[in-house]
Structure 1
């Protein structure tokens, strides 16, 4: 079954695809998120190489067990055909209560049905004070009126 919006992407459809991905990741359901990827999807996430939905589910389960109160914002960087480049930031804390903001870039490639088949992510973590947090919405989908990365100066 197709997963719109489908490539080739326009600026509007690329932004829609990015927001759908952001919403999914903010929902923190590894099984549901993995369904956005092809069964044989290939990832590079930092120094991890992940292949297929079962590895994606396992990876995301570990991620969200470690990265507590995770909140993510993604923003379009560039697009062409079936490719989208995204920049993002997310905030989370560890089990000791230390807060972090993680910054990164992703390169995505989609199949004709709109499933992501390749994801390359480069990510850096910066320790922040809780008072310096910028992502304060309740866990889950970012509200439509919440500023994006550019509006927040990130």
Structure 2
């Protein structure tokens, strides 16, 4: 299985990869999103360390059960060879109705088949009023 665009990335293919990731994550479908990662993909997400597509799938299902009405925007920061860096921002609310804006940066490393084999994410959350939503 391949997941174009494939490395090495150009500016256009890196932007396409970022847009594809944004579209997939906004689907809030753990099955769909998990297919973009290698079977043994390694993740750091905040303070959690995950390994493998099944752990990623479970993590995403838990995430979107907690982070309601999740909407995300990603922006290409830089790229080289088989790596892409992005900045992102997403908004969501918890079960109590509190809205949050989460800001972060990700570093991605891809295998030759275009699947992501490593993801490092640093994320900070800020409480916001519903009226402050931008996404």
Structure with more strand by fraction: 2
- The equivalent of 2:100 in structure 1 is 100
SS in 2 for 1:117: strand
Deviations 1:92-126 (A, max 9, x none): 00000000000000000000010000000000000
- The equivalent of 1:13 in structure 2 is 13
- The equivalent of 1:64 in structure 2 is 64
- The equivalent of 2:38 in structure 1 is 38
Deviations 1:55-83 (A, max 9, x none): 00110000000000000000000000000
Instruction: State the 1:2 CA deviation.
Output: 1.4
Matches of 1:21 and 1:35, distance apart in 2: 11
TM-score normalised per structure 2: 0.99
Unaligned runs of 5+ in 2: none
SS in 1 for 2:85: strand
- The equivalent of 1:152 in structure 2 is none
SS in 2 for 1:55: helix
Size of the aligned set, in residue pairs, is 135
Instruction: State the 1:24 CA deviation.
Output: 0.4
- Pairwise CA RMSD: 0.4
SS in 1 for 2:134: coil
Instruction: State the 1:86 CA deviation.
Output: 0.3
Q: State the 4+ residue runs in structure 1 displaced beyond 2 angstroms.
A: none
Instruction: State the 1:32 CA deviation.
Output: 1.1
TM-score normalised per structure 1: 0.87
- The equivalent of 1:122 in structure 2 is 122
Unaligned runs of 5+ in 1: 136-154
Deviations 1:40-66 (A, max 9, x none): 000000000000011001100000000
